[in-house]
Structure 1
Amino acid sequence: MILDLFFPNRCLHCNRIIDAHLLVCNLCFEHIHFTHYTYFEDNFIKEKCKLLFPVENTYALMQFEKENVSRKIIHELKYKSREKVGKILADWTTERLDFQNEKPDLLVTVPLHSKKLKERGYNQLHLFTETLSEFYKIPFDHELIKRNYYSQAQALKNKENRLETENTFSITKHISGKNILLIDDVFTTGNTLASIAWEILKAGDNKVSVLVMAIDV
């Protein structure tokens, strides 16, 4: 296409010209630190979540380290209006995540407040989740959880403010007896996920698992 000639797609890490459907070149792809977690075994996220709420299974696609490629990828998705990055991350996830014969019943995303959604124009988790839903044949619900207050991004908060998640979320409908996979972009303290998880657990005889695009180590 003409646009590709004048505005070629470039690797977001090294700036080399790459195919239009790629995020990074082959060389930079090798520098992405995938976690190699398995969904059913103990891992770093599971140990952290267990301190905050009862969790079944956990998975993270990448490590979110300072100045690494995965951090740049997540920032492109969240702050550079590149919603389609979510689909690429989902494709990388489906290549690595095996639910075996114990698929979750429902995929649920961490919601944005309506004000933040209007500012950004999209929830960075939706396309990611919808792509997973189509691949694994698991339904999703973007409306199950409501964010009650507009708040600063977790990454911009100091440690004390990150703990202020009480009553931030509420559940919008009755749900019981479900194994719910809660999806977020980056695992930091786990407090946001914990706040949502307890709403789901209080709602009925539910179980909660966690999937994140990256874990901040």
Structure 2
Amino acid sequence: MLFPVENAYALMQFEQENLSRKIIHELKYRSRETTGKILADWVIERLDFKKEKPDLLVTVPLHPKKEKERGYNQLHLFTKVLSDFYTVPFDHHLFKRNHYSKAQALKDKKHRLETQHTFSLIKNVSNQHILIIDDVFTTGNTLATIAWEILKAGNNKVSILVMAVDE
């Protein structure tokens, strides 16, 4: 099921001990990158850009150290599959993560809110409709921080797609 919200889409609910949590953890922590392709195929079955197709897909970046630890960014294959299907370019290097930190899932709610200065826009972008892609929406701070950087950069529009929502 895809949960549409004004300019936002979520594929699954992310609940304690449910299948969606297990799927995301397989993708992120157990080197099951191909799970991203399966999830992208689910999105393709459910998402139609009838009203407005984005101009660019971007992913929430991992810090280089964390990407090296995992061996990949869990969002890249997912985004590539969507990019190929919808013929929308992607840019995994529009942003950089400025600080290495432990996973959001390991932080308490107070520390999850600390995202100021976490990301930097490293390329100029203007007059674009940008779809930001992330795995799990928890507090919304990560996506809000990135969206704000995009909106400050120029006459841009932002939409959001997440694999799961943790309520």
* Larger RCO of the pair (alpha carbons < 8 Å, separation 6+): 2
From the two aligned structures, give the one with the greater strand fraction: 2
SS in 2 for 1:74: helix
Corresponding residue of 2:152:
202
* Residue of 78, 83, 89 corresponding to 1:133: 83
* Residue of 114, 117, 121 corresponding to 1:171: 121
Paired residues, number: 167
Once superposed, what is the RMSD of the aligned Cα atoms? Answer: 0.9
Task: After TM superposition, give the deviation of residue 101 of structure 1 in Å.
Answer: 4.1
Corresponding residue of 2:27:
77
* 1:138 partner letter: V
Corresponding residue of 1:120:
70
Counterpart Cα distance in 1 of 2:135 and 2:142: 11
Corresponding residue of 2:107:
157
Corresponding residue of 1:37:
3
Corresponding residue of 1:106:
56
Counterpart Cα distance in 1 of 2:113 and 2:100: 15
SS in 1 for 2:3: coil
Structure 1, unaligned runs of 5 or more: 1-33, 47-56
**TM-superposition CA deviations, 1:93-149 (whole Å, max 9, x none):** 000011114100000000000000110000000000000000011000000011000
Counterpart Cα distance in 2 of 1:82 and 1:210: 23
Counterpart Cα distance in 2 of 1:101 and 1:204: 22
Task: After TM superposition, give the deviation of residue 163 of structure 1 in Å.
Answer: 1.2
* 2:15 partner letter: E
Is 1:211 the counterpart of 2:146 in the alignment? Answer: no
Task: After TM superposition, give the deviation of residue 66 of structure 1 in Å.
Answer: 1.2
Extract structure 1 runs of 4+ deviating beyond 3 A.
Answer: none
Corresponding residue of 1:191:
141
**TM-superposition CA deviations, 1:134-185 (whole Å, max 9, x none):** 0011000000011000011111111111111110100011110000000000
SS in 2 for 1:95: helix
Is 1:61 the counterpart of 2:11 in the alignment? Answer: yes
Residue identity over aligned pairs, in percent, reads 73
Task: After TM superposition, give the deviation of residue 67 of structure 1 in Å.
Answer: 1.1
Corresponding residue of 2:40:
90
Counterpart Cα distance in 1 of 2:146 and 2:51: 26
TM-score, structure 2 as length reference:
0.97
Task: After TM superposition, give the deviation of residue 37 of structure 1 in Å.
Answer: 2.3
Structure 2, unaligned runs of 5 or more: none
* 2:49 partner letter: F
* 1:168 partner letter: T
Task: After TM superposition, give the deviation of residue 76 of structure 1 in Å.
Answer: 0.2
Counterpart Cα distance in 2 of 1:105 and 1:72: 32
